[in-house]
Structure 1
Amino acid sequence: MNSSDVKTPEPRARGLAARTRSVAPHPGGYRLAIEPVSFVVRPRMLVVALVSAALAVVLFLTGVGVSDFPLTPIDVARILLGGGTRIENVVVFDVALPRALVGLLVGIGLGFSGSITQLISQNPLATPDILGITAGASAAAVAAIAFSTTSWGSWFGDLGVPASAMIGALLTAALMYVLAWPGRKANSGINPFRLVLIGVGMTWMLQALTNFLLTRADIRDVGRAQVWLVGSVANVGWSNVWPVVGGVVFGIVVIVVFSRQIGMLSLGPDLARGLGVRTGAVSATLLLTAVLVSALCVSAAGPIAFVALLAPQIALRLARTAVPTPLLSGLVGASLVLGGDLLCRTVLPGGLPVGIVTAAIGGPFLIYLMIAMSRKATV
C-alpha cells in the first residue's frame, strides 16, 4: 500500500471539527462555542441558579405536603410520579397541587418581570408594582370581582379576572410610556427618574380608584376583593393555574430569544445602540412582555407586594452581576413566594395571605435600597 493511498483528514474538515465545540476563557467565566451559537458560562451564576432551583423544588414539594393529610417531600414526589393511592391522589392533585403551582409560577413571573423593568429603566425601583402596572391590573380585577352583576361592571365580569387584569395593566403601561416618552428627544431614551415618578403617581391614583370601587361594592364582594388585594395563593384551583402557565412560558421564550439583546441593554442604551441593538423596539417588546406576565400573575394571586423588587436585587447580589438576570430572578422569586406561603401555613397564625410576609420583608429592604442609592449618588 502506497503512502498516497492513506487518506488523512483535510484541513477544512479538521477546522470544522475544531469550531464545532470550543471552550475559551472569558472575563465573566468561560466562553462555550457550539457552532453556530456561543454563550458564556459563569460558574458562580450557574451554582447560584442550581441552588435556587433546588431550593424552589424543595419548597414546592414541602408546600404540597402541608395539608390536613400531611406528606413528606419524598411522598409528594412519589405521588407526582404516579405512585400514590386514591386518597393521596385526591389530596395532592385536587387540593394541594394548584396552590403550590400558582405560588411557583407567580414567583417566577413576578421575579423576571421585575428584572426586565429594572433593566429597561436602569433603576432598581422600577418594578411593576411601583410603576403602577399591578395597580392598574388590580383596579380592573376588582371591577371584575366586585361589580360583575352591575350594568357597567358586567363587561369586566364577562371578560373574567385574568383578561380584565391584563387590560388594566396594558392601559396603565401604555399611559405611563406615553407620559414618560421624551418626544423629539427620543434619542436620549426615557429618563429613569421621570419614569419612576410617573409610575408612583399613577400607582397612587389607581389605588385611590380601587378604594373608591370598594366603597361602592357589596360587602360580601368587598371581603373577597380585600383578600385578593393583599396577595394570596389560597383558595385557588386549576382554572387559576393555566393562565399563569401560558404567561410564564411566553415570558421565558421571549427572554431566551432576546437574551443577546438583553445582555447588550445591560451595558446602557447608548452602547447598545452602538452595537446595533434597536433599543426602542427591544425595550418596548420586553416591557410589553413584563406587563402581560405580571398582569396574569396578579390575576391569579393578587398583587403580592415587593416580590418584583426583592427577587432581582437578591439575585444580583448572590450572582454578583452588574444587572439582575431575568431567569435567576424568577427562581429567587419562586422561592420567596413559596417560602412565604409555607411560613404562613406552618408558623404564623392560620389564614394569613403570603402578601403580608413579602411586604414585611420588602418594606425594610426598600428603605435599605433607597439609602444605598442615595449614598452611591453622593459619591
Structure 2
Amino acid sequence: MTAVLRTGPVSLRVVPRVAVVSAVLLLAVLAVGVASLMTGDIELTASEVIASLVGHGDRASDFIVLRLRLPRVLCALFVGAALAASGAILQSLTRNPLGSPEFIGMTNGAATGAICVMFFLQGSMMMIAAGAFVGGVVTTVVVYLLAMKRGVQGFRLVLVGIGVSFILVAVNHFLITRASIYEALQAQAWLVGGLNLRTWGHVTTAGVGLAVLLPVAVSLGRRLALLEMGDQAAQGLGVNVERSRFFLLGTSVGLASVATAAAGPISFVALAAPQLARKLTRSAGPGVFAAALMGAVLLMASDLLLQRVFSVQLPVGIVTGAVGGVYLAWLLAHEWRKGIAR
C-alpha cells in the first residue's frame, strides 16, 4: 500500500510501513542521544540534559552537555547515518550484501588520504576531511576502472575492491612505520575508529557532508531501485545506467569519506544497517533514509554501551568491529546455505 502526496509539480511517494519504521528509528535516535548525554563520570538527569539543550540549564550542566558530550553524540549520529547511507547505495548497486565501503576499498582509501595529510601537511580538520575525500575518490575511480569490463558488475566490483582494500591497509601500515612515534600513535588510534575527544570541528565536517549528500542520495533512490532490477531492465525503463552508477558511486564515496574524516574508519555500520533497515521496512527498494536512521541508532547505541560497560575511554570501532565480525560470519554462512538450497 502506497500513498502519494502532491504539492504543485512535486510529488512524494509514501509507504506507510517505511514511514512508521522511520518514525520509530527517529524516536530511538532521540532516546539514545538523551541517554548518552546523561552518561559519564558525572551523571545527569534527563530533565537537566533537556534544560541545557533548550537554553535553561545551569552553568555546570551546560558545560558538561554542550561542550563535552554533545559533540560526541552528534558526531555519532552524523557518522553512523553517513556510513549507513553509503552502504545502502553500494549494496543496491552491487546487488551484494557485502557491498559496503570497507569492502569496496573506500574507507581505507579515505584513511590513506587522511593519514597523508596528517603526516606530510600537519593539516587542520578541514584539510584532513579534504584528504579523506580525495583518497576515497581516487580509490573508487581505481576500483571502478579495474572492475570495468563491458560495464561494471557488482560481484566483480566487490572482488576488486577487496584486493585494493588490502593493498591500502599495507600502505597505511607502511606510512605509520615511517612516521615519528607521536604521529604513529595518533594515526593508529585514529585508524581504530572512535568518538573520543570529538570537537565541534568534527561535528561540522560530518554534519555538512551529510546535509549536502544525503538529500542527493534520497533523490536518486528511484534510479537506484531500478538499477537493482539489472542494467538491461533499468535501461529499458529510461535510466542512463553508467551515468547513474557514476553519480551514485560519487555520492557513496562522499558520504563514506566525510564519516571517515570525522571519526576514522569505523566498520560494521555500513554493512549491517542497510540490511537491518530493509528487514524492518520489508521494502524491496534501497531505503536510503531508513538505513541512515538505523546507522545512527547502531553507532550511538554502540558508543553508549561502551560508556556504560567500561570505565575507560575505548574507541567505539572496537565494539563495532567485534560485532561486525560475528555478523559477517553469520552473513557468509547464511548466503552459503542459501546457495546450497538453490
TM-score (norm 2): 0.94
Which residue is equivalent to 2:327? 365
Kindly state the Cα deviation for residue 157 of structure 1 after the two structures are TM-superposed: 7.0
1:101 to 74, 89, 93: 74
Which residue is equivalent to 1:195? 157
Give the letter aligned to residue 288 of structure 2.
Answer: P
Is residue 4 of structure 2 the alignment partner of residue 32 of structure 1?
A: yes
Distance change in 2, residues 1:69/1:171 (3 Å): same
Give the letter aligned to residue 242 of structure 1.
Answer: T
Give the letter aligned to residue 3 of structure 2.
Answer: R
Contact 2:86–2:255 at 8 Å: present in 1 too?
yes
Give the letter aligned to residue 360 of structure 1.
Answer: A
CA distance in 2, matches of 1:169, 1:203: 11
CA distance in 1, matches of 2:74, 2:228: 31
CA distance in 2, matches of 1:178, 1:286: 16
Which residue is equivalent to 2:43? 70
Which residue is equivalent to 2:61? 88
Is residue 111 of structure 2 the alignment partner of residue 138 of structure 1?
A: yes
Give the letter aligned to residue 160 of structure 1.
Answer: M
Which residue is equivalent to 2:199? 237
State the Cα deviation string for residues 246-268 of structure 1 (Å, max 9, x = none). 11011222023323323322333
Give the letter aligned to residue 106 of structure 1.
Answer: V
Higher relative contact order (CA 8 A, sep 6+): 2
Distance change in 2, residues 1:44/1:158 (3 Å): closer
Which residue is equivalent to 2:128? 161
1:301-312 matched pairs, under 5 angstroms: 301-312=263-274
State the Cα deviation string for residues 48-81 of structure 1 (Å, max 9, x = none). 1111111111111111222333223333222111
TM-score (norm 1): 0.85
CA distance in 2, matches of 1:253, 1:48: 19
Give the letter aligned to residue 31 of structure 1.
Answer: A
State the Cα deviation string for residues 316-364 of structure 1 (Å, max 9, x = none). 1111223441111111111111111111111134121111111111111
2:176 to 214, 221, 225: 214
1:1-379 matched pairs, under 5 angstroms: 29-34=1-6, 36-145=9-118, 147=119, 153-154=120-121, 160-182=127-149, 185-186=150-151, 190-378=152-340, 379=342
- Where does structure 1 lack aligned partners over 5 or more consecutive residues? 1-28, 148-152
Q: Across the two proteins, how many residue pairs are aligned to each other?
A: 340
Give the letter aligned to residue 30 of structure 1.
Answer: T
CA distance in 2, matches of 1:266, 1:78: 46
Give the letter aligned to residue 99 of structure 2.
Answer: A
Kindly state the Cα deviation for residue 302 of structure 1 after the two structures are TM-superposed: 0.4
| CA-based RMSD | 1.8
Contact 2:87–2:252 at 8 Å: present in 1 too?
yes
Contact 1:64–1:100 at 8 Å: present in 2 too?
yes
Contact 1:128–1:294 at 8 Å: present in 2 too?
yes
Kindly state the Cα deviation for residue 209 of structure 1 after the two structures are TM-superposed: 0.5
Contact 1:313–1:324 at 8 Å: present in 2 too?
no
Kindly state the Cα deviation for residue 105 of structure 1 after the two structures are TM-superposed: 0.3
Q: Who wins on radius of gyration, i.e. which is larger?
A: 1
Contact 2:5–2:11 at 8 Å: present in 1 too?
yes
CA distance in 2, matches of 1:314, 1:143: 35
Contact 1:31–1:38 at 8 Å: present in 2 too?
no
Q: Secondary structure at the match of 1:32?
A: strand
CA distance in 2, matches of 1:50, 1:179: 41
